[in-house]
């Protein structure tokens, strides 16, 4: 496999600064000049401080934000520029295949929310858009998300009361039956010191823009599994925003298998220190499919931890996978510990994978920060090792491919769901006899 | 009674699509069941290449010569066929295989080698017994193959496979490297069990003489610049310990 370590926008320690001018090891005699010459690093002023540009309304010149911190947010769809492939966060997405999610009024019927099991300790209610629990996790970060925000009429709120440790996972099916562009809003909230596991399983036919909020209460533990197993023609854009209170913990598992275009954008923000997030992803991209995951972890609080592990397998002509992992460690987020990893397995000729890790570090006082991305075919050394033990090549390939993919499924922790997903992955693999 | 015969073997490492570099320059060696042949030599002399070429690593290409196991042409076999014919290579750097549990891997390998799945009861019993003798943590079989194993655990895992898969001829590629003295003893005992209980023929590749205190070779071969340059009994190892390889380095130049 080839390893590509991409864009690292590097910050510097703020400890050794007086009035914003570096005085420690980074000190320079002339502002903007170092021993290597003029500092031309993008997004930094001459004193080496981060310079944050905001993408403003109407500015569609395609100049990328200098920092993820400067990403424009708004509840109003009209305040976002119309989508073009020149916009940094839409550059990989086939906009025409959004089937109007960016422009149309989203008046179609939202997919039906059906609780399969686990209700009781955890409650599921339908509320109007003015409910106080809506809108606390974050503001829409793109036009499609804002369009859904403008259009949704009612929301599903899943609540875990304080101090309740739910002993059953809550399984929720979200069944689409119409190709009229629709909006949907879901809130999952955990009270202080509670714990719960929620599975959202998307199926059927839909053209859907969705906002999902996770409000992770103080000291609580929430596991959310979002499974996209849509029919082949469905289009789904899902903005999943989390806000984690002090010492709260979120495990987010994203499984995207079916749909013509699925674009999930999970963002995690910390409201206080001590938070922990683990984000896992598995996508299986087939012929003609566009499956995109763009995540963001915003370390704005001290002593929080994040771990990101996303994997994808791709097969067939015009199978297009996209993974963008933005991790920002702000100056005030001292003691941050973060690592993000993306691994992609190309199973035959024809697919395209774009993998872009972005790690921005604005303080040197961190516990750890790292990222890695690999895209390639099956590792010959893995096959060789297994075959040298007598295992025929075909069986060795099976073992390695399934091992690669099932590692993420293992994270779910609900055997019936895991078994069903393993079966789905087997069916995907069988299409190309892997 | 099995015999591995290597005759005038020349092989190259494949550097890229167009470039190869000759490493093995005419190796002759015969190993019978129950024998231990130590292959000793300086770093870069081609010892590991010899083992990898016999096992069929795709990075190496045979230029001429022959390798047979009980008269069968090994060089015509695929990597997995060689293993099923009775060859085993304990690797110097075993790779980590994410997502494949050790338990699943070992059972798959045993099934492939034997041509049928082992009976669950005896298999579990055999595995437990071998792991205990090699002082391997029972929890290891639930972990992914070699993932997060320490250097010592990886080598014990290689020897566990040697014991469970029962090959006719085993090639041990610097199995002693990276082991502390306790681990070295445990691993050596495993090799000696294969030798006495299964009559396995052993090619023991090593840079140092220290493992020869625990595994006694009948034959010692000195390897330099891609071929065997000296041969003798155990006394040759003692001499190497005192004098080092300098003598052979100058000969081969």
State the average pLDDT over residues A262-267. 98
Chain B: nearest CA to A98, how far in angstroms? 35
3-state SS, A298-314, equals EECCCCCEEEEEEEEEE
State the average pLDDT over residues A105-131. 96
Residue count (chain B): 253
The size of the A-B interface in CB pairs under 8 A is: 79
State the average pLDDT over residues A364-391. 94
Q: What is the pLDDT of residues B6-16, one digit of tens each?
A: 999 999 999 99
Q: What is the pLDDT of residues A19-56, one digit of tens each?
A: 444 444 444 444 444 444 443 444 444 444 444 444 44
pLDDT of residue A55: 41
Phi/psi at A353 (nearest 5 deg)?
-125, 130
Chain A: nearest CA to B211, how far in angstroms? 24
pLDDT of residue A131: 96
CB-based contacts of A93: which residues, under 8 Å, 6+ apart? A83, A85, A261, A263, A290, A292, A322
pLDDT of residue B118: 94
d(CA A197, CA A418): 14
Put simply, whether B103 touches A (Cβ < 8 Å) is no
- Asked if the ipTM is above 0.85, the reply is yes
Chain A: nearest CA to B223, how far in angstroms? 24
How many C-alpha atoms does A131 have within 13 Å on its Cβ side? 17
Nearest to A385 among B56, B95, B104 (CB): B95
pLDDT of residue B251: 52
Query: Token pair of A222, please?
Result: 């929430």
pLDDT of residue B110: 97
Which stretches within A296-379 are classed as H helix? none
Q: Indicate the average pLDDT of chain B.
A: 94
Determine the residue among B54, B80, B93 to mutate to test chain A binding: the one whose Cβ has the most chain A Cβ atoms within 10 Å. Answer: B80
CB contact under 8 A, A396 and B165: no
Put simply, whether B3 touches A (Cβ < 8 Å) is no
pLDDT of residue A33: 43
Put simply, whether B143 touches A (Cβ < 8 Å) is no
CB contact under 8 A, A388 and B99: no
CB contacts of A404 in chain B (<8 Å) are 98-99
Read off the pLDDT band of A57 (50, 70, 90).
Answer: very low
Q: What is the pLDDT of residues A142-182, one digit of tens each?
A: 999 999 999 999 999 999 999 999 999 999 999 999 999 99
Q: What is the pLDDT of residues B36-54, one digit of tens each?
A: 999 999 989 999 999 999 9
List the single range of A8-17, A194-203, B43-52, B113-122 with lowest mean pLDDT: A8-17
State the average pLDDT over residues B98-120. 94
**How many percent of chain A have pLDDT more than 70?**
84
Determine the residue among B48, B82, B100, B160 to mutate to test chain A binding: the one whose Cβ has the most chain A Cβ atoms within 10 Å. Answer: B100
Question: Do β-strands A33-34 and A37-38 pair in parallel, antiparallel, or remain unpaired?
Answer: antiparallel
pLDDT of residue A184: 98
Put simply, whether B95 touches A (Cβ < 8 Å) is yes
Tell the residue number behind the tokens 């995207």, with chain if given. A256
């Amino acid at each position: 496999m080839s390893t590509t370590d991409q864009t690292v926008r590097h910050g510097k320690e703020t400890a050794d600064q007086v009035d914003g001018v570096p005085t420690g090891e980074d000190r320079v005699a002339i502002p903007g000049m170092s021993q290597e010459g003029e500092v031309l690093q993008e997004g930094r002023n001459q004193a080496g401080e981060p310079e944050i540009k905001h993408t403003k309304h109407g500015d569609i010149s395609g100049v990328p934000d200098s920092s993820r911190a400067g990403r424009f947010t708004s509840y109003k769809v009209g305040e976002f520029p119309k989508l073009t492939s020149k916009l940094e966060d839409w550059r990989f997405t086939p906009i025409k295949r959004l089937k109007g999610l960016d422009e149309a009024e989203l008046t179609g019927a939202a997919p039906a929310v059906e609780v399969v099991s686990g209700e009781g300790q955890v409650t599921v209610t339908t509320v109007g858009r003015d409910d106080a629990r809506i809108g606390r996790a974050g503001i829409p970060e793109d036009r499609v998300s804002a369009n859904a925000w403008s259009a949704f009429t009612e929301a599903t709120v899943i609540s875990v009361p304080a101090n309740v440790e739910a002993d059953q996972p809550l399984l929720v099916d979200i069944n689409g039956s119409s190709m009229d562009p629709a909006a949907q809003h879901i809130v999952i909230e955990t009270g202080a010191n509670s714990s719960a596991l929620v599975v959202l399983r998307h199926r059927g036919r839909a053209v859907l823009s969705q906002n999902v909020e996770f409000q992770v209460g103080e000291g609580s533990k929430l596991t959310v599994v979002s499974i996209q197993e849509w029919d082949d023609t469905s289009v789904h854009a899902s903005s999943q925003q989390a806000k984690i209170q002090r010492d709260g913990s979120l495990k987010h598992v994203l499984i995207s298998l079916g749909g013509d275009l699925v674009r999930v954008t999970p963002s995690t923000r910390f409201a206080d220190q001590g938070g922990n997030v683990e984000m896992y992803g598995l996508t299986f991209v087939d012929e003609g499919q566009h499956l995109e995951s763009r995540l963001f972890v915003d370390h704005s609080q001290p002593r929080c931890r994040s771990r990101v592990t996303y994997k994808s397998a791709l097969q067939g002509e015009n199978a297009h996978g996209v993974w963008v992992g933005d991790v920002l460690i702000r100056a005030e987020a001292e003691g941050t510990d973060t690592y993000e990893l993306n691994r992609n397995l190309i199973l035959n000729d024809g697919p395209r994978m774009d993998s872009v890790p972005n790690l921005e570090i604005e303080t040197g006082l961190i516990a750890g920060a790292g990222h890695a991305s690999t895209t390639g075919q099956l590792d010959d050394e893995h096959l060789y090792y297994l075959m040298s033990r007598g295992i025929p090549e075909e069986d060795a390939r099976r073992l390695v491919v399934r091992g690669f993919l099932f590692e993420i499924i293992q994270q779910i922790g609900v055997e019936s769901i895991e078994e069903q997903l393993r079966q789905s992955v087997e069916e995907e693999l069988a299409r190309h006899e892997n | 009674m099995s015999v591995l015969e290597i005759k005038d073997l020349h092989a190259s490492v494949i550097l890229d699509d167009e470039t190869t570099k000759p490493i093995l320059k005419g190796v002759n060696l015969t190993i019978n069941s129950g024998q231990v042949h130590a292959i000793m030599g300086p770093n870069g002399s081609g010892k590991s290449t010899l083992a990898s070429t016999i096992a069929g690593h795709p990075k190496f290409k045979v230029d001429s010569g022959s390798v047979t196991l009980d008269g069968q042409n090994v060089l015509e076999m695929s990597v997995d066929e060689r293993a099923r014919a009775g060859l085993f290579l304990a690797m110097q750097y075993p790779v980590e295989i994410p997502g494949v549990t050790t338990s699943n891997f070992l059972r798959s390998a045993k099934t492939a080698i034997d041509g049928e799945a082992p009976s669950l009861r005896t298999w579990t019993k055999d595995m437990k017994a071998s792991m205990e003798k090699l002082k391997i943590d029972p929890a290891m079989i639930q972990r992914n193959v070699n993932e997060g194993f320490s250097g010592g655990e990886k080598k014990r895992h290689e020897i566990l496979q040697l014991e469970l898969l029962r090959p006719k001829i085993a090639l041990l590629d610097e199995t002693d490297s990276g082991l502390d003295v306790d681990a070295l003893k445990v691993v050596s005992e495993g090799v000696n069990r294969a030798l006495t209980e299964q009559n396995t023929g052993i090619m023991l590749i090593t840079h140092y003489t220290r493992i020869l205190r625990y595994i006694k070779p009948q034959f010692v071969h000195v390897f330099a610049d891609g071929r065997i340059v000296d041969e003798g009994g155990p006394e040759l190892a003692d001499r190497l310990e005192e004098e080092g390889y300098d003598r052979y380095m100058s000969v081969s130049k």
